[in-house]
Structure 1
Amino acid sequence: MRRYLINLSYIGTGFRGIQRQTPSVDIDDPTTIQGQIEMGLKLLKPSYMSSCAVSSRTDAGVHALHTTLHVDLTRPNNEPYDPKTITIQLNKKFSKSFLPIRILSTYLVPNTFHCRREALSRTYMYRLCVIKYNGLIRNTLDKLIPIEEHNRAYFICCNDFDIDKAKDACKLFEGLHDFRTFMGRGSKQQNKITRKVVEKLDIIDEGHRFYTNFSWPNCINQNESDYKFYNIYCKGNAFVYNQVRRTVAALIAAAQGKVSTRDIKFMLEVPSHHSWDPRIKTVPAHGLYLCEVSYSETDRGTFHEGSV
């Protein structure tokens, strides 16, 4: 048996998240990222295959620019698989099936390595676009979203958006805090430890768009200058359920003047579901990207490279 670390990216639209929903690897699950990868690994015809272990769980609709998982495989002749072969074969399957999953690289790693426990940090990015009203009514928002950005960023209409207030609020989240207030009520682990360290929370003005040519809607009199993009980066070792999305929601509410830094400070200092400010609405999943899962240089020194 050999263990393989797989680096991958994906667009989460249309999937039920990364984690397989079926009870065992023997039952195919085409609705999740893990399920699709396990189905692809079966095409290698291993004599033994474990269930994939994912380094970070992402909800339905969340994307990943880089994340990892590991899997134990045994080849019929007991020789290790060439990591490059795993990368090529999985990408061939996803390409033929028109699936938005891309294997970036595969490594042969020690059997003691665990992609989740060994991860030093995880960095998330939330893509936000603020559109000026220009006299338009709210129900025109769908017409204002370029089709190539559909389900790739969160668009809001707002003329009074003070990004400096959001940046000031970022400082409140950094460091060690109890984030129970920011844990979604849908969490199945209500007794989970909620004290986490946010290493960095930062907002980059005019975040780069994924597309250079915008299909500006002809029926709406709107200019590119009316669109302001922001990338919100959140880095930490671990997060509670929905922590990043609810953190971003609080930053947006601060920029819109719905809540103050004092309100946010209260939610952090009095950790409870009851402390959540109802004026803040959790942002949707489709603007969230897992950017990076990082490991120590010591761990990296034990990886046998197989990137294409």
Structure 2
Amino acid sequence: MRAGARYLILFQYIGTKYSGAAKVPLHQLGKKGIQDHIEDAIKKLKPLNPVFSTISSRTDSGVHAFSNSAHFDLQRKNDNPPFTEDVLVDALNYHLQAEQIRITQAYRVPDDFHARYRAQSRTYVYRIALGVKNQNLLPVTEHNLCWHLRNTELDVGAMREAAALLVGLHDFSSFRAVSSDLAFKNPVKILDVARIQPGCSFVQTHFYRDIPFLELTFKSRSFLYKQVRRMTGALVAVGQGRISVPRVKEILEAKDSLAFPQGLAAPARGLFLTRVVYKETDLQVSSQASEEQLISTGPSED
């Protein structure tokens, strides 16, 4: 019998109507997670094996992604060869077309590949619209895709000074959600990038509105639960003059989630996971597997 194949898929989504990237436990009713919908699409390909996927990044409810990733195994019926990567992308998107989720790329990967643990870095971008009194004044293309602030200007210099304090090796316990169910996770992380720069918007080109945007970019191998939203909220508070740069240092050095000021975290709607990076060598399968994949024929889902 022909063995199954392991795939890595890259996918994007608008997270507004989903409970988050991770699968929702069976005992919880309500909105599904992104992972639930992807697994439903895989099941419609009628594999022989039970469907189980592993996502690289568990984004929270309301958070979006330009590129998240997951791996799963798929064994086809009747000893059929594995799907080619292009056919798999098309087939999954066919079954996801009712959702705001799209598969952008697929890789046939080694059987021991792990989407979460093999990730070398993750990059998040937080989008902020300035000078917007309420959400109804945002063009429809930006609804639920940015954090709108009444301020027309922020002290970006002070924000960058505070952001520099976060870069490097630190215990980020103060920036972890108090109610996190991942409290056992090592809070020591290396933040490679904390960058603040003007952002561009589809709105500015097509809606003739002068809405300035800021983009806060964070890159690390991994993050704690709600760490990016808490760092963003603290930096914005610095830009608004609500807290000082030294106060951010005090919060960081406290190493205690209760030291983070209540109500300061940024909302989910402005956050995007933009990139998950892997080593090219981790994505390579054997030459025999590659040749086997090339002989896969047609988009049959049996």
The normalised TM-score by structure 2 is 0.88
Cα distance 1:60–1:30, how it changes in 2: closer, same or farther (>3 A)?
A: closer
Moved over 4 A (4+): 27-30, 303-306
Superposition map of 1:199-210 within 5 A? 199-205=192-198, 207-210=199-202
Superposition map of 1:81-230 within 5 A? 81-95=83-97, 97=98, 99-131=99-131, 140-159=133-152, 161-205=154-198, 207-211=199-203, 212-214=205-207, 224-225=209-210, 227-230=211-214
Distance in 1 (CA, whole Å) between partners of 2:75 and 2:31 is: 23
Distance in 1 (CA, whole Å) between partners of 2:16 and 2:118 is: 28
CA distances 1:149-191 after superposition (whole Å, capped 9, x unpaired): 1101100001552111111111000001111111011201223
Give the structure 1 partner of residue 299 of structure 2: none
Q: Counterpart of 1:20 in structure 2: which amino acid? A: K
Give the structure 2 partner of residue 135 of structure 1: none
Matched, 1:48 2:41: no
2:271 is aligned, of 267, 280, 288, to 288
Segments of 5+ residues of structure 2 without an aligned counterpart are: 295-302
Distance in 2 (CA, whole Å) between partners of 1:301 and 1:190 is: 34
Q: Counterpart of 1:142 in structure 2: which amino acid? A: Q
Cα distance 1:142–1:273, how it changes in 2: closer, same or farther (>3 A)?
A: same
Shift of 1:36: 0.7
Give the structure 2 partner of residue 36 of structure 1: 37
SS of aligned partner of 1:246: helix
Shift of 1:76: 1.2
Shift of 1:65: 0.2
Distance in 2 (CA, whole Å) between partners of 1:167 and 1:202 is: 7
Cα distance 1:190–1:45, how it changes in 2: closer, same or farther (>3 A)?
A: same
Distance in 1 (CA, whole Å) between partners of 2:285 and 2:251 is: 42
The answer on whether the counterparts of 1:49 and 1:74 sit within 8 Å (CA) in structure 2 is no
Shift of 1:245: 0.3
Alignment length (residue pairs): 284
Give the structure 2 partner of residue 221 of structure 1: none
The normalised TM-score by structure 1 is 0.86
Cα distance 1:29–1:294, how it changes in 2: closer, same or farther (>3 A)?
A: farther
Q: Alignment identity in percent? A: 35
Q: Counterpart of 2:130 in structure 1: which amino acid? A: V
Distance in 1 (CA, whole Å) between partners of 2:182 and 2:93 is: 34
Greater mean alpha carbon deviation, residues 75-84 or residues 281-290? 75-84
SS of aligned partner of 2:237: helix
